[in-house]
Amino acid sequence: MPSPAPVTIDQIQLDLDADRRWRERRHQQWTENYQLYRDTVITNRLTQRQSVNVPLMKATIRTLLSRANEPADVELEDYDNDGQRELLVNAYLDKVYEDNKYELLDVVDKKNVGLYGRSWTKLNILDGFLRITIHDPFDVLIDRYALPWDIDKTARRITHVGLYRSLSDLELNPIYDKAAIGRLRTFFATKQGLVIAGQNSQIVADRARRLEEMGAQDVQYPLLSETYVELNEQQRKVWHPDEQQDVIHVIVTANGSEILMDKPLRELLGVNFFLWSGWTDDPEATDIYSDGTADIVRVPNQILNVYFSQLVENGVLRGYGMNFYDSSAKEGWSPIGYVPSPWGFYPVPGDPNKVIKHIEVPELASHLTEMEMITGMVESATAASAIEKGDTPEGAQTLGEINLMVAKADERMKDVPKFARIHAKQLGDKLAKLINAAAAKGLLKPVTLYKKSAAGSYYARTIDPKELVAPNGYNCVVTLKAQKEADSLKEIQKLKLGAAQFPMNLPLQEILSDRMLSWLELTPDEKKRVQDYAAQNPMSMLPPPTAAPGASAPSAPVASTRQPVNA
């Protein structure tokens, strides 16, 4: 059977250039969004003369983050119904999330979606453990013809750009082509090699320019102690004729001229899917680089900055004033700036009314009305209303009006958690497959977990990765904490109605008890203590007897007031 055709460096560079140009349309917008969020403005002589910024971008993004600040709960179910293995794999997954600080990554992930419209998460295995990383959109390129809602099936490639490694580090990597590294070392020893060449320099410049404008002026300076090479890591679908299917290869290129590695991903990690997961809260039909919340806020924020800058400058000019003077009053004389002081006298050559004239700077008409209107437009478009930000809007003073505004904003803000849940499901499915495959290949190291008993003692349990291998895999179930609690409460309320209707039905009472204990989030030991007591005292599970309708409650016994009779 024929083997797959090798991928050439020229083909990779052509695809890289096409993918970069497709993304370049968004670079300027992303940079401006980021600057406004970071309270950084670029002054100019015409409109933005004062370095002031109305924090509309930050207030909007942080308001949206506050409404979607809880990461989704991910749980794996064993298709082989092995309860012990299911318990272990979920404990291992919790350890993965904890060590990767996923709660913080979730905030960065959602912030990227707000600022840039799309965020990228990458999975990997380093030093025998799973790693989850969130990446800057400037560092990721994707096939421009991929469908935005189904990247895994329709994209031909995803490229991680802007990776810098020293030549000595490359030589230590056993899976890199030694001959290619030797050619790189020879190239960087020449005069031509002193300057970073190739197409990747433009990609790095786009990212570095933002940092330069944030005040880091040395981001593009070379690191003189080492010779650093820029790498690109591409996960690319390659057609294998012998298997009649696409197989994802990991291809690492250096300096845009050498291929250091080209291996199937299943040979490296045992899986055949992209290790990337991307999501957006505003999916498009054709453009993978969809708009984010920041794109709605950007232009209004810039207009507010212009208005605010003009108001500030007008106040400054009115405070200092302006003066014209007669330059022909006396040859060789020009007015000087005097330090103002109470009852000060300042000489001038001639009649002050004829020589110097103070010019009053007219007060600029206030832009406050226009600024409020623009702010209201942004709040309406993003559902980040004044109430959501912690402010009380004028004209909405009654409790009913405020509750109605909050309810409307709540409905519109549900989109972010909804798409975040879909992303968590995709990420959880890939994590489950990666754990299963990597454990089978022996790529994961044992992990020691600790559990605290009801008595306060800690017990260690070392998980051997081979214990996590499920022949039929795992199913990923994703729930949002708030939605999960709301659903649990509704279920308990329904069970209570049924238990009240059948008070002597012990199985129904046991089901209600189990649901309530699960909702209380007791530890397994605490739950067992409650269940053991219920088993020993079955009558304790029944509701207290209620009086019949219309019957009066029994009164407490009254002590006798009859006095003894003396004989």
User: Which residues make Cβ contacts (< 8 Å) with residue 70, sequence separation at least 6?
Assistant: 480, 481, 482
Short-list 155, 165, 181, CA closest to 235:
155
Distance CA(111)–CA(105), nearest Å, equals 10
Look at the alpha carbons of 121, 125, 127, 130 in this order and tell me if their dihedral is positive or negative: positive
| Residue 231 dihedral angles phi and psi, to the nearest 5° | -110, 150
Domain boundaries, the chain: 1-26+156-273, 39-131+286-319+365-467, 481-539
Residue 187 confidence (pLDDT): 83
Question: Which residue is listed with tokens 């106040």?
Answer: 315
Q: Name residue 356's beta-bridge partners.
A: 325
**pTM of the predicted structure, to 2 decimals:** 0.73
Beta carbons within 10 angstroms of residue 40's beta carbon: 15
Residue 441 confidence (pLDDT): 93
What DSSP assignment string belongs to 247-263? EEEEEEEETTTEEEEEE
CA separation (Å) from 429 to 236, 275, 374, 469, 474? 20, 11, 43, 15, 8
Distance CA(190)–CA(442), nearest Å, equals 43
Distance CA(382)–CA(301), nearest Å, equals 13
Tokens of 431: 């994590």
Q: Name residue 125's beta-bridge partners.
A: 130
Q: CA dihedral in degrees (25, 31, 37, 42; nearest 10)?
A: -130
CA-angle at 96, arms to 164 and 457, nearest 5°: 135
Q: What is the pLDDT along the chain (567 residues), one digit of tens a residue?
A: 577 888 999 999 999 999 999 999 999 999 999 999 998 888 877 777 888 888 888 888 888 888 777 888 899 999 999 999 999 999 999 999 999 999 999 999 999 999 999 999 999 999 999 999 999 899 999 998 999 989 999 999 999 998 888 888 898 999 999 999 999 888 877 765 544 444 444 555 555 666 666 565 555 554 445 677 889 999 999 999 999 999 999 999 998 889 999 999 999 999 999 999 999 988 888 899 999 889 988 888 888 888 888 888 878 777 777 676 776 777 777 777 766 665 555 666 677 677 666 666 666 666 667 667 667 766 655 555 554 544 445 544 444 554 544 455 455 445 567 888 899 999 999 999 999 999 999 999 999 998 877 677 888 999 999 999 999 999 999 887 666 666 777 778 888 888 788 877 778 877 888 777 777 767 677 777 777 777 777 666 555 555 444 444 444 444 444 444 443
Tokens of 274: 């992209």
Burial 334-347 (b: 16+ CB within 10 A, else e): eeeeeeeeeeeeee
User: Which residues make Cβ contacts (< 8 Å) with residue 294, sequence separation at least 6?
Assistant: 33, 36, 37, 57, 60, 61, 114, 115, 116, 117
CA-angle at 175, arms to 435 and 259, nearest 5°: 110
Look at the alpha carbons of 526, 531, 536, 537 in this order and tell me if their dihedral is positive or negative: positive
Long-range contacts of 283-287 (CB under 8 A, 24+ apart): 283/148, 283/149, 283/419, 284/148, 285/148, 286/148, 287/148
Distance CA(7)–CA(12), nearest Å, equals 7
Burial 257-277 (b: 16+ CB within 10 A, else e): ebbbbbeebeebbbbebbbbb
